[in-house]
Amino acid sequence: MCGIVGYIGKEEAAPILLEGLKKLEYRGYDSAGLAIYNNGKLDVIKSKGRLDTLYKLTDGGKKMEGTAGIGHTRWATHGEPSDKNSHPHVSQSGKIAVVHNGIIENYQKMKELLVNHGVKFSSDTDTEVVAQLLEYYYEGDLLEAVSKTLSRLEGSYALGIMSVDYPDRIIAARKENPLILAVGDNCNYLASDVAAVVKYTRDVIYLDDDEIAVITNDRINIYNTDMDELNKPVVHIDWNISDPEKGSYEHFMFKEIMEQPKVISDTISPRLKGNEVILNELDNVRSKIDKASQIYILGCGSAYHVGVIGKYLFEKYARIPSQAVLASEFRYSSPLVDENTLVIVISQSGETADTIAAMREAKRLGSTVIAIVNVVGSTIAKEADSVIYTWAGIEVAVATTKAYSAQLAVIHLLCLELAKNRKKMTEHEISEVVSELKLLPSKIQRIIDCREKLQYYASLYFNNDSVFFIGRNLDYAICLEGSLKLKEISYIHSEAYAAGELKHGTISLIEPGTLVVALATYEKLFDKLVSNITEVRARGADVLGFASEKMRESFEGNADSAFYIPNTHEMLTPSLAVIPLQLFSYYVALMRDCDIDKPRNLAKSVTVE
Ligand code: M6R
């Protein structure tokens, strides 16, 4: 997945494109490049490395003259991150330049065809075939060449295309990858995300699949695949999309951890009336929810981990058969979902390709889809039957923290709603949970205030090269997230295990000095978890334990190091238990001098399957 941006107007294009790319770096950051039309030729500067490198190479864009251009920030799929594999890619003659987000699945076949016609390739990417095919089909009409080229491509794409023969235009095309066009004053833009252009304009056109746009400085014409012109609405973005700043914080991740009390409050408060949960967002799907006989929760990475908690909670409190399924697996697993299945998709970005594909499959099979999404107007938000937004604000760090917590808060609300409708919890029971829900922000703050202890534990363990997270039931679900957080930002190998499962094989990996992070917040299974801790300690493991305050007395002495979490209703424990794990991972990564906000090989939004 990558970010693309384009500008055509009267201003110098390069600084505007660089500014746009800065806002798209969350989509990938292993290389970046620009192509600018300048006096009958396309100037291309591109380079491996962060956008900063491109910024320096172009002197903030000053070294590139011209008022029309396209730019790209990359997350490598085909071909290692390198100068030659960076976008834009140009055709053999240098006359056509292309930026691309997506994957051309039949690129090998297309490459063979072109090589047989004598075309010489200069990169290992799938994207280069697009530039070469365009030139191959070009017979004086660029739009016709675009149309022919697109008809040969299999896979997904958001494309920005320029040609020296048409200096007054940029062509854009989309299939299964986000692309917006934006209307400026004597200028127009294209971008993977509104964030890239919002500094200049809030009037945007959402390009849909299989549409092609011709963008000049004063017009945007949009066509379908038959080349019929379409009349698409200009949408004014009125939601707040202010740029997040790090302020005095060293990292966005830390800042976002600190924001969690507010984020939880912003997400739950508008949905509570007294001690009642009010989810107006569900009004249009209420009858479908009432007759649902099962729930599937779909997501990737941390969003999937929230789904695992949802599964435990919906089954326990609302008594509805539920399962959490990785979105990337759902689509190809012949899922038994139908019109009586409620599907909940969870996604911070709303643009994760696997989650979008799973959602579409669920809809195709007749299910009703509720989406829990952070980014307003994203693909998932637009296509789901109903959306519950998490009011986490823009999350910049690749490792999610505040969006995860906000998703979890929505799961709690949904659980209460379902339990109420199915009469599985009394009003009194619900009101007890809601009272505790309202206290979550202050309890999270209490944990954050004890962060020095976690920093100390990080200093004890940051040199470990293998860590196991163990827990049972909800604690196991939290372990999944704790383990992912640690590995993605600190590059320490770590695994989450259901504590009872360890003895079925994995315990052979425990040796003196192995760190085992044990979660013991689930009161009913506390004794069993303590037995599992004893087993690993008997084999020499160092145990860092997390337990609820009310278990302090019984837990003391059972772990080498311990951290206590404020008491709360059992349903809500995950919302508290995850916070110290986020902070522990953060401090470990800090001590290992890792690039915390932009870990290697990752991107914030994973828009390829
Ligand atoms: O935008 P999404 O919530 O759909 O993203 C899903 C995952 O890619 C994401 O949660 C990922 O696992 C995070 N980097 C974890 O911190």
Per-residue pLDDT tens over the stretch 165-178: 999 999 999 998 88
| Residue 244: per-residue pLDDT | 73
Ligand 1 site residues, Cβ closer than 6 angstroms:
300-303, 347-349, 352, 355, 398-400, 484, 488, 605-606
pLDDT tens-digit profile of 218-237?
Answer: 999 999 989 999 999 999 98
Mean pLDDT along residues 112-121: 96
**Pocket residue to mutate for ligand 1, from 26, 326, 348, most atoms within 8 A of Cβ:** 348
Nearest protein CA to atom 9 of ligand 1, as residue: 301
pLDDT reading at 1 higher than 80: no
The fourth-level CATH superfamily of domain 3-236 is Aminohydrolase, N-terminal nucleophile (Ntn) domain (3.60.20.10)
Pick the CATH number of 450-597 from 3.30.70.1170, 3.30.70.640, 3.40.50.10490, 3.40.50.960: 3.40.50.10490
> How far apart are the CA of 56 and the centre of ligand 1, in A?
31
Please say if 95 is a catalytic residue: no
**Pocket residue to mutate for ligand 1, from 326, 352, 481, most atoms within 8 A of Cβ:** 352
Rounded (10°) CA dihedral 479, 483, 486, 491: 170
| Residue 607: per-residue pLDDT | 76
**Pocket residue to mutate for ligand 1, from 395, 400, 491, 601, most atoms within 8 A of Cβ:** 400
pLDDT reading at 608 higher than 90: no
> How far apart are the CA of 53 and the centre of ligand 1, in A?
26
pLDDT tens-digit profile of 310-319?
Answer: 999 999 999 9
Q: Do the two domains 3-236 and 450-597 of this chain adopt the same fold?
A: no
Half-sphere exposure of 591 (CA within 13 A, CB side): 18
Provide the pLDDT confidence category of residue 459 given band limits of 50, 70 and 90.
very high
| Residue 241: per-residue pLDDT | 67
Mean pLDDT along residues 432-449: 98
Taking a C-beta distance cutoff of 8 angstroms, is the pair 228, 407 a contact?
no
Mean pLDDT along residues 296-301: 98
> How far apart are the CA of 170 and the centre of ligand 1, in A?
32
User: Could you give the percent of the chain with pLDDT greater than 70?
Assistant: 99
pLDDT tens-digit profile of 546-560?
Answer: 999 999 999 999 999
Tell me how far apart the alpha carbons of residues 59 and 73 are, in angstroms, rounded to a whole number.
17
Edge-to-edge strand order for the sheet containing 235-236? Answer: 41-48, 31-38, 68-74, 3-8, 188-191, 180-183, 203-206, 235-236
Tell me how far apart the alpha carbons of residues 450 and 458 are, in angstroms, rounded to a whole number.
13
Please say if 485 is a catalytic residue: no
Provide the pLDDT confidence category of residue 605 given band limits of 50, 70 and 90.
confident
Provide the pLDDT confidence category of residue 242 given band limits of 50, 70 and 90.
low
Edge-to-edge strand order for the sheet containing 89-90? Answer: 89-90, 96-104, 155-163, 170-175, 211-215, 220-223, 229-230
pLDDT reading at 452 higher than 80: yes
Provide the pLDDT confidence category of residue 573 given band limits of 50, 70 and 90.
very high
Q: What is the overall mean pLDDT for the chain?
A: 95
| Residue 76: per-residue pLDDT | 86
> How far apart are the CA of 235 and the centre of ligand 1, in A?
28
pLDDT reading at 592 higher than 90: yes
> How far apart are the CA of 410 and the centre of ligand 1, in A?
17
Taking a C-beta distance cutoff of 8 angstroms, is the pair 402, 393 a contact?
yes
The answer to which of 25-29, 238-242, 497-501 has the lowest mean pLDDT is: 238-242
pLDDT reading at 279 higher than 80: yes
Helix, strand, coil shares, percent, the chain, to 5: 40, 25, 35
Query: Which residue has tokens 């914080």?
Result: 249
The fourth-level CATH superfamily of domain 246-446 is Glucose-6-phosphate isomerase like protein; domain 1 (3.40.50.10490)
The residue ranges of every structural domain in the chain are: 3-236, 246-446, 450-597
